[in-house]
Amino acid sequence: MRTVIVLAAFLVSVSIPTQAQKLKVAADQQYLLLATSKTSTMQEELTEAAKMGFHIMVGSPTSGNEMVLLLERIATPPDTFTYQLLATNRTGTMQKELTEAANDGFRLLPRTMISKEAAFMGGPEVVVVLERPPKADKRYEYKLLATNLTSTLQKEITEALANGFVVAGMVSRGEHMVIMEKEINPLE
């Protein structure tokens, strides 16, 4: 009985962290690899790394539900980049969150667009990262196009191009999702 209680207490103490873990980064470390399946953990670690002067080079899905970001240290605090990670399995939610982030001066990093399996969500989750440079002076508008039909997608891309948008990136998750971008009024 005593062994069971000690084992249970050990398992509880291991599974419940008492405080957030800090990234371990050497002062002269030039590159940093972040990998996790939880988008909230990735946002926390990305924010911490950005404050140390790291900038995203590229993102990639691994197998299943994990994502990886490779960062390079190029900035000197306090002039650092800021990042916002968006993750959802609903197209309408992604469009809304892209618009809100863009209004705050963030710009999509197409090299971070991935589709990953969501642990408890309905279907694959699309994850994108947006970046705001230390001295953001431009603003962007985004139009998200998503469909299973390539002919429909081609027509929608052509219409968006006619309205001044350019293709920013594409990811597939059963349906094809294209994010179009257009530069608009500068930040004030």
Write down the pLDDT at residue 5: 40
C-alpha 161 chain-centroid distance = 25
Write down the pLDDT at residue 122: 65
Question: Which stretches of the chain score pLDDT less than 50?
Answer: 3-20
Tokens of 45: 């670690």
Q: What is the pLDDT of residues 124-159, one digit of tens each?
A: 888 999 999 988 888 999 999 999 999 999 999 999
Write down the pLDDT at residue 172: 87
Short-list 160, 161, 158, 181, CA closest to 169: 181
Rounded-to-10 torsion of CA 145, 146, 148, 151: -10
Domain coordinates in residue numbering, the chain: 29-184
C-alpha 173/C-alpha 146 separation (Å) is 10
In Å, the largest CA–CA distance within the chain is 73
Write down the pLDDT at residue 185: 76
C-alpha 187/C-alpha 46 separation (Å) is 24
Write down the pLDDT at residue 118: 67
C-alpha 91/C-alpha 107 separation (Å) is 18
Write down the pLDDT at residue 124: 83
Locate all alpha helices (DSSP H) within the chain, ordered by sequence: 2-15, 39-51, 91-103, 150-162
**How does 71-82 read in b/e, with b if 16+ C-beta sit within 10 Å?**
bebebeeeebbb
